[in-house]
Chain A
């Protein structure tokens, strides 16, 4: 290390360790694998020094010191097992246990309880306390989801500090004092935070437990699988905790670049998806107007036969496929391959936001920075988002940024829970996110507020863009949107002067009436104000679902092949697949639902749910509707054939989150009997069609993706490691075992935007920005 000379060297238990100045003794000891027991300290929160458990002896100090509050000083000599330390720790544990009930046998935390574990390792074998313990009614509900047992509480304040300092939400507070101290909730400030479950996980004892997990299992009966949460596009790292093929909870698996070890309540406790008794357990075939159980063989043969029939009667272009934003990358890839190579049509799409079509190999519509980068931003502007409900752990990271001084502007139609912490809020009429964003862009162009490399080098494009917006102005656009023009102009100026601004919009806001130009306008806003290409600056959509970005990456698009290759560049793919590929763009989602196809193959999507009456009628009029699903959804109810699929916890694969991190999803439990993973179903259909697919596992599909999809070139499960890698990635050095690793990209530059990240750009024609109106 180059900064070696800046390190401080200390001795702990006779072993030397060198750490940066300011490191806590607890952390320094951890680097030597020396466990110092802690209750109140939590690495993601400021030290408190309250529990008095982490005592160590520092040479020259008459009293024991707390390792969680003492920072290293040069040549410090520390002992973690001197007689003084042992007695002090025993003393603390004895104190903690005098009022602790002995209900470990029925405590949900038993078996994963720090009080049990530290008592085993550091505590007294017995107690000298033979008097009267405190008693409380137990448990009491502190929220709809969390129960509090005050007798078990050791008053470490982790939960209270999480609520106040990390979540910055109403919630748990300390009440009373001294031995009457208890955790509680103020009457007028309910503990209704979406982050509430974290207090259950970080409670070192069984004081805070989950209602849904009460008396359900012992922790050692759980099968814990390291995976990725599939509830939203953030992709928090989790341990899926399963007991006898039933998911009981997800626990955090700290990934500092994404979740920092925190989960939202949806991720933690929404087990309904997989545990529901409503799950489909057998294929269904429509006979005489009603869906009836069938065998897999019958169902797959029927699908193949009917697809062939439609193709021979109406041609391949009469077949379309709507893929999923929930399934794995591997499944999305196989889905479009089945449509393109197997059935010969580009009628492939998924339910997604409205993004302008890509030209050549420009950068796709993504968040150019990262979740961790939010902390480095001086400004965060949220356009039409609801991060608290839709991407909660991104919201939590925004809150950390706010604590560090970042100014956040919430520009949304509805009030949000971030408003209270925001530097400013701007409200507008529902559906006008596009107009508001254009008002900001107009202010930047007209004042003008442009700055930086991009604005200079692309002066001609900037001028063209300015001309194209000459017919309107910020005030007119703001009035149209029902927003405060003065506030928008002030915000535009702040963005233009920011050290680093991150401008985020919700993917679904692009579907609003004024959303057609939203993505492009916000991108231009970031480029023209030089908020781009470095950590803490950038822009992009916050995606809707866990694999919304992966679905796009894998080519669930009618006009682009996997990795955003143009259809015209499909020769290599066609050769590898051994098929000729259709070279004209297919129908998009809306066109397919408007009666453009006779047969529709739907995997993991529910178009009927947000369909117009006309679209519903079209769905019902189809010659063939095939649906792969977990439940009998509105779409499945109208299907010809329903193929029961499994949830992400029941299969292997990869997801790509909203900040481009490709992460490994692992099978945590057996598939529901009768149901099959989507990749298995697709192989079944392909082989019923006589395509002879031979994939034995998602790993083999991933290997093919690594070979054929430039954006994912070289990908491997091992290369993704435990915490995933953000694309575009390149090959890194080999790891200790000689296996290849991947190196991700924390942020994207504007040259990548123009020429793409796959190395195919010719560097001549900038793909962006385009003046509005240049193309439809």
Chain B
């Protein structure tokens, strides 16, 4: 790792400069959401290149070589995922683009790709379908994103009109249909098997695994499911080649990511930066530092389903491995900054409410546990809690973590467990002083930790 955040020694020798824009090159071009403008700026040239210069299997190899990993949260190697599709299954294959972006703190797929540059996703979908020998792809858009859905639907329509979808695309003999589907509004449908259930017209409940979707997916057929950002990166890999893409990032986390910076910073927003960019660089150089010159209290690095990082961990490089080593997860790269006037119990309560409300209700620990956690946090936050509530919270989390049906239950425990670990005294303060330690409802004198009141 480099000593100086944001500048690697090799910067000057990098093919596209220190901060390449694989995804956001055309961000800000007026009318880039229309096919004519997109094509004027080099759009669909990667598709033409893919169809003319690659065999499908070679494309899969190229993506493997690029080191591209899933941008939805788990970070699984994309090329390898494609390779899991069974070779001899007589059923049709499907590609599902997971555009159910709902993770709190995450707004990259919606804003940067679907709303602003929908054709990038269409192009990526066509190339990825060609690589995986899919002839019907689905884009599952989160129910709460009507604009994104309209943009995608129009882009797909334009692509059909331009002969980029349908039969014999660009004379290659390759056929593909894309269906844009808007969900009914459920966080759980971002879980890949629940997405498939929903797409099939059923309730959004996660499925038992195995079998995995690669073998038994949509309509019981082999299915690839990838995040929007993952698919939208594929044209850049084709355009620049795997080696150029892999020249960025770290040894195991290649390329760039769209970091969603939100919370108490001066300039929240989406930033495309190479993987491994230090957290501090993102917050200070790009985000303009903490709002009002305050101090960082805690950072959620990868959406609300990831544990907090402390101010002392601000130099953590934002790549999968480094964040994991720091005790959290890069997840969806939804970086939420909490300043020193944030009541941590209140913040955790807000996040936990989200999981309570979004729990699908299929399994007992998540359904009942999140209900209980919220009530306990409400009581603590309001200053009516008991000291025993704090270990009880932790034990309830222990009974949810690893016991729930899908990762949603695990996710719900992350902020609670890590905040109790990092901010035990602030929890205790709510019990002893019957109010918050900091913020507008601060009450009493702080115990132990520095008094911010």
Which A residues are within 8 Å of any B CB, using their own CB? 47-53, 55, 62-64, 69, 87-88, 91-92, 94-96, 98-99, 128-129, 131-132, 134, 154-155, 157, 174, 176-181
Give the residue name and chain of the A residue nearest to B409 (CB).
Answer: A52
Task: Tell me which residues across on chain A come within 8 A of B186, comparing CB atoms.
Answer: 177
List which B336-365 residues lie within 8 A (CB) of chain A: 356-365
Q: Which residue of A lies closest to B362 (CB)?
A: A50
- B399 interface neighbour in A49, A53, A94, A176, Cβ under 8 Å: A94
Contact B365 A179 (CB under 8 A): no
Query: Does B371 belong to the interface (CB within 8 Å)?
Result: yes
Residues of A within 8 Å of B403, CB to CB, are: 52, 55, 63-64, 88, 91-92
Q: Which chain A residue has the least Cβ–Cβ distance from B386?
A: A130
* Consensus secondary structure, chain B interface: helix
Contact B203 A155 (CB under 8 A): no
A to B CB contacts below 8 Å, 28 in the list: A47-B208, A48-B208, A50-B405, A51-B363, A52-B363, A52-B404, A62-B402, A63-B403, A64-B402, A87-B399, A88-B399, A91-B403, A92-B403, A95-B367, A95-B369, A95-B372, A99-B368, A128-B392, A131-B372, A131-B379, A132-B375, A154-B364, A155-B361, A174-B203, A178-B356, A178-B371, A179-B356, A179-B371
How far is it, in angstroms, between the C-alpha of A155 and the C-alpha of B363 when the chains are bound?
8
A600 to B382, CA, bound (A): 86
Q: How far is the CA of A47 from the CA of B405 in the complex (A)?
A: 13
Tell me if B417 is interfacial: C-beta within 8 Å of chain A: no
Q: Give chain B residues whose Cβ lies under 8 Å from the Cβ of A98.
A: 368, 371-372
User: B208 contacts A69, CB within 8 Å?
Assistant: yes
Assess whether B113 is interfacial by the CB under 8 Å rule: no
Closest partner residue, chain B, to A132 (CB atom): B375
Most buried by A among B367, B368, B402: B368
Shortest Cβ distance from B379 into A: residue: A131
C-alpha gap A47/B404 in the complex (Å): 15
Asked if residues A52 and B405 are in contact (CB atoms below 8 Å), the reply is yes
| Nearest CB of B to A170, in Å | 16
Q: Chain A residues near B188 (CB, 8 Å)? A: 177
Q: How far is the CA of A179 from the CA of B361 in the complex (A)?
A: 6
Complex Cα distance A242/B358, Å?
A: 46
Nearest 6 interchain pairs by C-beta: A91-B399, A181-B361, A95-B368, A179-B371, A178-B359, A63-B402
B405 touches A92 (CB 8 A): no
Check if B232 is an interface residue, CB within 8 A of chain A: no
Contacts of B399 in A (CB 8 A): 87-88, 91-92, 94-95
Contacting residues, chain A, for B370 (C-beta < 8 A) = 178-179
Interface flag for B376 (CB, 8 Å): yes
CB pair A178–B360 under 8 Å, yes or no, is yes
* Given A62-B402, A88-B399, A178-B358, CB of A50 within 8 Å of CB of B371: no
Query: Given that A87-B399, A178-B357, A179-B359 are known contacts, is A50 also in contact with B375, CB under 8 Å in the complex?
Result: no
B371 surroundings in chain A (CB, below 8 A): 98-99, 134, 178-179
Of all chain A residues, the one with the shortest Cβ separation from B408 is A178
* Complex Cα gap A177–B188 (Å): 10
From A92, A128, A177, name the one whose CB has the most chain B CB atoms within 10 angstroms: A177
A64 to B357 Cα, complex, angstroms: 26
Please judge, given known A-B contacts A63-B402, A178-B370, whether A52 and B365 are in contact too, CB under 8 Å. Answer: yes
Contacts of B359 in A (CB 8 A): 177-179
Assembled-state Cα–Cα distance A197/B369 (Å): 31
Q: Whole-angstrom distance between the alpha carbons of A509 and B398 in the complex? A: 64
B372 proximity list for chain A (CB < 8 A): 95, 98, 129, 131
Inter-chain contacts of A131 with B (CB < 8 A): 372, 375-376, 379
Cβ–Cβ contact A95 & B364, under 8 A: yes
Shortest A305–chain B CB gap in Å is 72
Given known contacts A63-B403, A98-B371, what 10 new A-B pairs fall within 8 Å (CB)?
A: A50-B362, A91-B398, A92-B364, A92-B399, A94-B399, A128-B392, A132-B375, A154-B364, A155-B364, A179-B371
Which residue in A62, A95, A134, A178 is a CB contact (below 8 Å) of B365? Answer: A95
CB distance from A63 to the nearest CB of B (A): 4
- Whether the Cβ atoms of A52 and B364 lie closer than 8 Å is yes
Chain A interface, >50% SS class: loop
B208 near A179 (CB under 8 angstroms)? no
Whether A177 and B361, one on each chain, are in contact in the complex, defined by CB atoms closer than 8 angstroms, is yes
CA distance A69 to B402 in the complex (A): 15
Q: Which residues of B contact A94 (CB under 8 A)?
A: 399
Q: Which residue of B lies closest to A130 (CB)?
A: B386
Cα A131 to Cα B380 with chains together (Å): 12
Measured between alpha carbons, how far is A134 from B361 in the docked complex, in Å? 14
A733 to chain B, nearest CB (A): 42
Whole-angstrom CA separation of A128 from B393 in the bound complex: 11
- Which residue from chain B places its CB closest to the CB of A179 in the assembled complex? B371
Contacts of A178 in B (CB 8 A): 356-361, 367, 370-371
Residues of chain B contacted by A95 (CB below 8 angstroms): 364-365, 367-369, 372, 399
Which of A52, A64, A92, A134 gathers the greatest number of chain B CB atoms within 10 Å?
A52
| Nearest chain B CB to A168 CB, angstrom units | 15
Give Cα distance in the complex from A178 to B352, angstroms: 13
Taking the nearest CB of chain A, how far is it from the CB of B198, in angstroms? 12
- The answer to whether B402 touches A179 (Cβ under 8 A) is no
CA distance in complex: A132, B369 (Å): 13
- B378 to A, closest residue via Cβ: A131
A20 to B304, CA, bound (A): 44
CB distance from A384 to the nearest CB of B (A): 36
The contact of A92 among B362, B365, B392, by CB within 8 Å, is: B365
Closest to B372 in A: A98
Known interface pairs A52-B404, A64-B402, A88-B399. Does A181 touch B367 (Cβ–Cβ under 8 Å)? yes
Interface membership of chain B positions 394-421, coded 1 if the CB is closer than 8 angstroms to chain A and 0 otherwise: 0000110011110000000000000000
Q: How far is the CA of A94 from the CA of B398 in the complex (A)?
A: 13
A179, B374: Cα distance in complex, Å = 11
What's the least CB distance linking B202 to chain A, in Å? 10
- Residue ID in chain B nearest A63 by CB atoms: B402
Evaluate contact between B367 and A155: CB separation under 8 angstroms.
yes
User: How far is the CB of B303 from the nearest CB of chain A, in Å?
Assistant: 19
List of B residues within 8 angstroms of A174 by Cβ: 203, 361
Find chain A residues with CB under 8 A from B364 CB. Answer: 50-53, 92, 95-96, 154-155
Query: Once bound together, how far apart are the Cα atoms of A216 and B404, in whole Å?
Result: 38
- Name B358's closest neighbour in chain A (CB-CB): A178
B405 contacts across to A, CB distance below 8 A: 49-50, 52
Q: Chain A residues near B404: list those with CB within 8 A.
A: 52
CB distance from A369 to the nearest CB of B (A): 31
Given the complex, which residues of B lie within 8 Å of A154, measured CB to CB? 364
Question: In angstroms, how far is the closest chain A Cβ from the Cβ of B388?
Answer: 8
A62 to B403, CA, bound (A): 11
Chain B residues, Cβ within 8 Å of A88:
399, 403
State how many angstroms separate the Cβ of A155 from the closest Cβ of chain B.
6
**A87→B359 CA distance, assembly (Å):** 23
Question: Cα distance A94–B208 when bound, in Å?
Answer: 24
Q: In the complex, what residues of A have CB within 8 A of residue B379's CB?
A: 131
Residues of A within 8 A of B356 (CB): 178-179
**Residue pair A180, B365 in contact (C-beta under 8 Å):** no
A96 close to B392 (CB less than 8 A): no
Q: CB-CB < 8 A to A134: which residues of B?
A: 371
Residues of A within 8 A of B361 (CB): 155, 174, 176-181
Q: How far is the CA of A74 from the CA of B227 in the complex (A)?
A: 37
* Residue pair B208, A49 in contact (C-beta under 8 Å): yes
Q: Taking the nearest CB of chain B, how far is it from the CB of A262, in angstroms?
A: 24
- A87: B residues at CB distance < 8 A: 399
| CA–CA, A537 and B403, complex, Å | 47
A318–B188 CA distance with the chains assembled, in angstroms = 79
